[in-house]
């Protein structure tokens, strides 16, 4: 049953702005609701989101690739039978780990949960990960180590509205989540970014380090805080451990040395710390610019160290947080899509966690596989002798979004079977042997978890087109064909959510006290929200973590002893520039959705390369000319965009575009040893005109 109106949330970023959808004169209309995070506002993407629902190339029938390479529409039973038969054959010949699953941070909690269960029970494979590994894994690793739990913002977004000073490190919120600016109007902003972004233009202080030097800068800020008497010694003594070891690493990073490494003036470093310490309410927030490095976890940890030294985390009106990117980037990593996790943010290697989840699933704990490969390692292993021979992709477009994309394209082509579930023919879907058309955001029920740890209801306005199924039905259809009972893989979202609650109960991300009934009644529920006995009042949820204690057994936060190291691929004489990638206001992720919205594509129709005028001139390039950008891995083409505020040693590339304009053809897959995050933000390149060798 559908409705003429539905209160739901935007399908894009993790801010999850509240929206109201309605049907008027045969068209879907959207307007912002008075939800806490967007306060009646939306960004350009949110306003145009309904255009996705009837995009002309919407997938409406399952497709099979024939011997001639062309896709042909087939019936659902034909498609699912073909997939199941080939999966059975591959598993029989090569073992369960010959089949892999790749998920997405935009999937609802229900889909993410059931996909992880499907991989580990129906397929018996350890080979599952998701594109959220490329989004927030470094901050997750640092947050877990420091606080004992990972929640992007351990406080409501609305708390930021009372801030006096906010430090934004590697976060361009004016373009990636513009409604957040409504909560930052009162604050003095300190922005750390190699580019003079739209966010940096709003800042009281812009620190512009060389790409890949954020860790040195964070160490320098800690040095200033300690040596100039701004460290909150009483807080450090009462609520933390490990300060002395962390300080020993930061001791050698005095401001003038940091200036030589980063390019950020020593006086600006001191000014930044002074602004934070003189504020009654201060926050340190990090984003992808901090994380997407081969040392991203250490860099995030260094900013946490700074926040701890200043006494911010767990203090009412102040704190540290990470700005999660994808729509369900928080919930998507909590319930089983990651290679090393079980539902409730439990470790897959923890015997107690395995026993708990296996009991909910009705299987022997010994049947659960162990941890598998992380995202890039998984994709790079495809089709190799010891790697997966089949891949099922839900909610991701790795052909565009993965570093060293040319190499990963070769791995996808080496598979015996590639299956993609999507609602548009993404670049990855075009390579698939089987394409399964699935429903969109306005056509489904479910939940998502925002960057502040609040569980939200997605509500349906429309039925999906004839011939389109929901992801839960697709998962059940495959599971039953692989011998699983249908009841083990329910298709009703509320049933899946209830089971997710039981599976997460007692874990760090405990949803067991949350229900559709409570959410539909308008309760604002943040995890952890454990179930309580029937004779007790329901748990109210936990909007603010760490007010009394951190999640480690001793209740203390942990400083991390980290030190600066160079990027994995420094600039050289042959590759004298550093390329960094990022998002722009009009587009989202791989662009598979936003490039199909006419207004958004008109705003930014093609990839471009931002560079300083002197950089362009030295390469024989002019504004508007097509440049070739080359790294050791490949080359891509982009329109030159001369920007006077760019660092002369840096080139910026948005990563939303396909084909020869893929920024990820050149990016470096060097991985962080703790988080397995690739180094999207820094690779050595050279540039030149299109008809040159660069």
The answer to whether 446 and 460 have CB atoms below 8 angstroms apart is no
Domain that holds residue 663: 577-689
Question: Please, is 579 exposed, middle or buried when counting C-beta atoms within 10 Å of its C-beta (0-12, 13-18, 19+)?
Answer: buried
User: Average of pLDDT values for 248-263?
Assistant: 98
- The reply to whether 86 and 158 lie within a common domain is no
Q: What is the Cα–Cα distance from 332 to 451, expressed in whole angstroms?
A: 11
Specify the CATH number for the domain of residue 11.
2.20.25.90
- With respect to residue 678, please indicate whether it lies within any of the assigned structural domains: yes
Instruction: With cut-offs at 50, 70 and 90, classify the pLDDT of residue 581.
Output: very high
- With respect to residue 525, please indicate whether it lies within any of the assigned structural domains: no
pLDDT digits (tens, 9 = 90+) for 656-693: 999 999 999 999 999 999 999 999 999 999 999 987 65
The C-alpha torsion from 470 through 472 and 475 to 476, rounded to 10°, is: -110
- The reply to whether 303 and 155 lie within a common domain is yes
- With respect to residue 177, please indicate whether it lies within any of the assigned structural domains: yes
The C-alpha torsion from 577 through 582 and 584 to 590, rounded to 10°, is: 120
The answer to whether 64 and 79 have CB atoms below 8 angstroms apart is yes
pTM for this predicted structure: 0.97
3-state secondary structure at position 555: coil
The answer to whether 398 and 102 have CB atoms below 8 angstroms apart is yes
Specify the CATH number for the domain of residue 346.
3.40.50.740
CA atoms within 13 A on the CB side of 107: 33
Assigned token pair, 646 = 């760019």
pLDDT digits (tens, 9 = 90+) for 121-167: 999 999 999 999 998 899 999 999 999 999 999 999 999 999 999 99
- With respect to residue 523, please indicate whether it lies within any of the assigned structural domains: no
Specify the CATH number for the domain of residue 590.
2.40.40.20
Go through 225-239 and write b for each residue having 16 or more CB atoms within 10 A of its CB, e for each that does not: bbeeebbbeebbeeb
The answer to whether 682 and 668 have CB atoms below 8 angstroms apart is yes
Q: What is the Cα–Cα distance from 16 to 10, expressed in whole angstroms?
A: 6
Average pLDDT, the chain: 97
User: Average of pLDDT values for 86-90?
Assistant: 98
Strand partners of residue 652 = 580, 610
Q: What is the Cα–Cα distance from 93 to 222, expressed in whole angstroms?
A: 55
Q: Which residue has the tokens 């748990």?
A: 539
User: Average of pLDDT values for 645-663?
Assistant: 97
In the chain, the percentage of residues whose pLDDT exceeds 70 is 99
| pLDDT higher than threshold 70 for residue 102 | yes
- The reply to whether 256 and 378 lie within a common domain is no
- The reply to whether 623 and 642 lie within a common domain is yes
- The reply to whether 192 and 335 lie within a common domain is no
- With respect to residue 443, please indicate whether it lies within any of the assigned structural domains: yes
Q: What is the Cα–Cα distance from 506 to 359, expressed in whole angstroms?
A: 13
Residue 325: predicted pLDDT: 81
From first CA to last CA, the distance across the chain in angstroms is: 59
- The reply to whether 309 and 449 lie within a common domain is no
Which of 490, 507, 535 is where one domain is finished?
Answer: 490
User: Average of pLDDT values for 215-235?
Assistant: 98
- The reply to whether 446 and 350 lie within a common domain is yes
- The reply to whether 423 and 357 lie within a common domain is yes
Any alpha helices (H) in 575-689, and if so which ranges? 598-603, 613-618
The answer to whether 658 and 401 have CB atoms below 8 angstroms apart is no
Residue 691: predicted pLDDT: 75
Q: What is the Cα–Cα distance from 463 to 108, expressed in whole angstroms?
A: 17
Question: Please, is 514 exposed, middle or buried when counting C-beta atoms within 10 Å of its C-beta (0-12, 13-18, 19+)?
Answer: buried
Residue 324: predicted pLDDT: 84
Residue 694: predicted pLDDT: 47
Residue 1: predicted pLDDT: 43
Number of structural domains the chain divides into = 4
- With respect to residue 126, please indicate whether it lies within any of the assigned structural domains: yes
Which of 460, 490, 520 is where one domain is finished?
Answer: 490
Which of 265, 296, 323 is where one domain is finished?
Answer: 323
- The reply to whether 93 and 126 lie within a common domain is yes
pLDDT digits (tens, 9 = 90+) for 16-45: 999 999 998 889 999 999 999 999 999 999
- The reply to whether 462 and 361 lie within a common domain is yes
How many residues comprise the chain?
Answer: 694
User: Average of pLDDT values for 346-357?
Assistant: 97
- The reply to whether 207 and 158 lie within a common domain is yes
- The reply to whether 202 and 128 lie within a common domain is no
Count other Cβ atoms within 10 Å, centred on residue 537. Answer: 6
């Amino acid at each position: 049953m559908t409705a003429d109106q539905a209160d739901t949330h935007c399908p894009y970023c993790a801010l999850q702005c509240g929206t109201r959808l309605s049907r008027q004169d045969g068209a879907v209309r959207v307007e912002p609701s008075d939800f806490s995070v967007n306060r009646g506002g939306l960004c350009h993407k949110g306003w145009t989101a309904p255009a996705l629902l009837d995009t002309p190339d919407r997938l409406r029938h399952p497709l099979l690739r024939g011997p001639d390479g062309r896709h042909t529409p087939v019936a659902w039973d034909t498609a699912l039978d073909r997939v199941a038969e080939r999966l059975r054959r591959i598993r029989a010949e090569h073992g369960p780990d010959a089949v892999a699953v790749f998920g997405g941070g935009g999937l609802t909690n229900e889909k993410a949960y059931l996909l992880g269960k499907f991989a580990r029970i129906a397929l018996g494979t350890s080979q599952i990960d998701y594109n959220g590994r490329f989004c927030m894994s470094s901050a997750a690793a640092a947050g877990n180590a420091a606080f004992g739990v990972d929640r992007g913002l351990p406080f409501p977004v609305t708390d930021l509205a009372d801030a006096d000073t906010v430090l934004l490190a590697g976060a361009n919120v004016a373009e990636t989540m513009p409604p957040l600016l409504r909560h930052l109007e009162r604050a003095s902003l300190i922005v750390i970014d190699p580019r003079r972004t739209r966010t940096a233009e709003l800042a009281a202080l812009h620190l512009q380090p060389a790409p890949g030097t954020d860790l040195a800068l964070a160490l320098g800020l800690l040095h200033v805080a300690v040596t100039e008497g701004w460290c909150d010694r009483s807080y450090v003594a009462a609520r933390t451990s490990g300060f002395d070891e962390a300080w020993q690493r930061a001791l050698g990073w005095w401001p003038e040395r940091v200036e030589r490494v980063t390019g950020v003036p020593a006086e600006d470093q001191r000014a930044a710390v002074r602004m934070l310490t003189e504020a009654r309410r201060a926050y340190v927030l990090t984003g992808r610019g901090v994380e997407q490095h081969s040392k991203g976890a250490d860099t995030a940890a260094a900013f946490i160290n700074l926040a701890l030294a200043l006494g911010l985390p767990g203090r009412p009106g102040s704190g540290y947080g990470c700005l999660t990117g994808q729509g369900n980037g928080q919930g998507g990593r909590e319930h089983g899509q990651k290679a090393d996790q079980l539902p409730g943010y439990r470790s897959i290697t923890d015997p107690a966690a395995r026993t708990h989840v296996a009991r909910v699933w009705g299987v022997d704990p010994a049947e659960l596989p162990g941890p598998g490969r992380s995202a890039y390692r998984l994709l790079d292993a495809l089709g190799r002798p010891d790697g997966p021979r089949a891949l099922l992709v839900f909610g991701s477009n790795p052909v565009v979004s993965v570093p060293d994309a040319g190499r990963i394209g070769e791995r996808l082509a080496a598979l015996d079977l590639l299956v993609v579930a999507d609602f548009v023919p993404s670049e990855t879907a075009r390579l698939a042997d089987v394409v399964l058309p699935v429903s969109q955001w306005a056509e489904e029920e479910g939940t998502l978890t925002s960057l502040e740890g609040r569980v939200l209801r997605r509500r349906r306005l429309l039925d999906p087109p004839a011939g389109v199924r929901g992801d839960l039905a697709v998962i059940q259809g495959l599971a039953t064909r692989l011998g699983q009972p249908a009841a083990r893989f329910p298709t009703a979202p509320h049933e899946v959510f209830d089971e997710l609650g039981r599976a997460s109960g007692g874990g760090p991300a405990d949803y067991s006290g949350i229900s559709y009934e409570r959410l539909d009644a308008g309760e604002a529920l943040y995890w952890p929200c454990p179930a309580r006995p029937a004779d007790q009042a329901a748990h109210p949820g936990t909007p603010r973590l760490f007010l009394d204690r951190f999640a480690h057994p001793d209740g203390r936060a942990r400083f991390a002893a980290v030190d600066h190291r160079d990027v994995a691929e420094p600039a050289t004489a042959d590759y004298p520039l550093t390329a960094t990638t990022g998002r722009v206001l009009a587009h989202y992720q791989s662009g598979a959705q936003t490039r199909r919205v006419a207004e958004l594509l008109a705003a930014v129709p093609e990839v471009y390369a931002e560079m300083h005028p002197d950089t362009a001139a030295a390469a024989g390039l002019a504004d508007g000319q097509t440049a070739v950008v080359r790294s050791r891995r490949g080359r891509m083409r982009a329109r030159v965009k001369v920007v006077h505020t760019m660092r002369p040693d840096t080139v910026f590339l948005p990563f939303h575009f396909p084909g020869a304009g893929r920024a990820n053809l050149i990016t470096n897959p060097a991985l962080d040893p703790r988080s397995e995050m690739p180094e999207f933000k820094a690779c050595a390149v050279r540039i030149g005109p299109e008809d040159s060798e660069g």
